[in-house]
Amino acid sequence: MVSEKLNIKQLKEVAKQIRENIILMIYKAKAGHPGGSLSAADIVTALYYYAMNVDPANPHWEDRDRFILSKGHACPVWYAVLAEKGFFSKEHLNTLRKMDSILQGHADMKKTPGVDMTVGSLGQGICAGLGMALSAKLLKKTYHTWVLIGDGETQEGSIWEAAMSGAKWKLDNLTVIIDLNGIQNDSFVDEIMPVGDMKAKWEAFGWKTIEINGHQMEEIVEAVDQVKMNKGQPIVIIANTVKGKGVSFMENVPIWHGKAPNEKEFQQAMNEIRSSQ
């Protein structure tokens, strides 16, 4: 199956709906991570509605493209997209983090249709993605593996071990996307542990790099098209984003890494998202 690709205008509209879903889920759960979910909304939307070949009716289709949200705490964005795409009923979005829900605080491949890898331990998603991509090469499969990581996550040593391996095996069927929003759990990344020049680092590890505005759908789509034409080495897309994008009082404010909005904040957030262009 080849998934239908949406155009730029359609992708932007879906991304707005994804942001609404994120805020609604976290508000109802009274817990969750809005900041990093909102910063990744445009990227994950483009992957599922433009880049990836998937079949919601057959989540375990052998030749599907794979996606791993390595920054697993941002799973509300993943759940929102999977529900909109039809992997499960949108009614489940009302059960985020509840006992026995298929939507836990970190995505579980044994519980959630469409989740290719259980996530939560930072630095491990890229390692699993590396294995999937290498397996595809060995089995002569054509599926592509996409891994989304956070910039704070690049403080993990396992990220760079995987980067070395990806270059060694010339895994052009593996793409890493960095959600470069500048904030992690406790504060700004540069205050906790500066990660330096991402482009220079990944190029030094043998990866082709593409830098984009992670909220400009046109740039995201163009980067995806470049990935499809790439041969001989893995690609990293460095997506410059804003934590909490789309909600004014959440944007670039560290506390919204992991805080649920109250009723007043919820209403303001939903109004801002719905009225945005």
Burial of 110 (0-12, 13-18, 19+ CB in 10 A): exposed
The mean pLDDT of 191-196, rounded to a whole number, is 92
Cα dihedral angle (46, 143, 1, 92), rounded to 10 degrees?
Answer: -50
Q: What is the mean pLDDT of the chain?
A: 95
The pLDDT-based confidence of 276 (bands split at 50, 70, 90) is: confident
pLDDT at 20: 97
Question: Does residue 230 carry a pLDDT above 80?
Answer: yes
Q: How far apart are CA 268 and CA 263, in angstroms?
A: 9
The mean pLDDT of 239-263, rounded to a whole number, is 95
pLDDT at 185: 86
Strand order in the sheet with 235-240: 66-69, 145-150, 174-180, 235-240, 208-213
The mean pLDDT of 59-81, rounded to a whole number, is 96
pLDDT at 1: 52
pLDDT at 3: 63
Question: Does residue 33 carry a pLDDT above 70?
Answer: yes
The pLDDT-based confidence of 186 (bands split at 50, 70, 90) is: confident
The domains found in the chain, sorted by start residue, are 8-275 (3.40.50.970)
The pLDDT-based confidence of 127 (bands split at 50, 70, 90) is: very high
Per-residue burial over 127-148, b = 16 or more CB atoms within 10 Å of its CB, e = otherwise: bbbbebbbebeeeeeebbbbbb
The pLDDT-based confidence of 120 (bands split at 50, 70, 90) is: confident
pLDDT at 121: 86
Cα dihedral angle (53, 57, 60, 61), rounded to 10 degrees?
Answer: -50
CA 8 to each of CA 1, 5, 264: distance values in angstroms, whole numbers, following the listed order: 22, 10, 32
pLDDT at 7: 96
**Between residues 137 and 185, the one the model is more confident about:** 137
Q: What percent of the chain has pLDDT over 90?
A: 94
pLDDT in tens, 136-171: 999 999 999 999 999 999 999 999 999 999 999 999
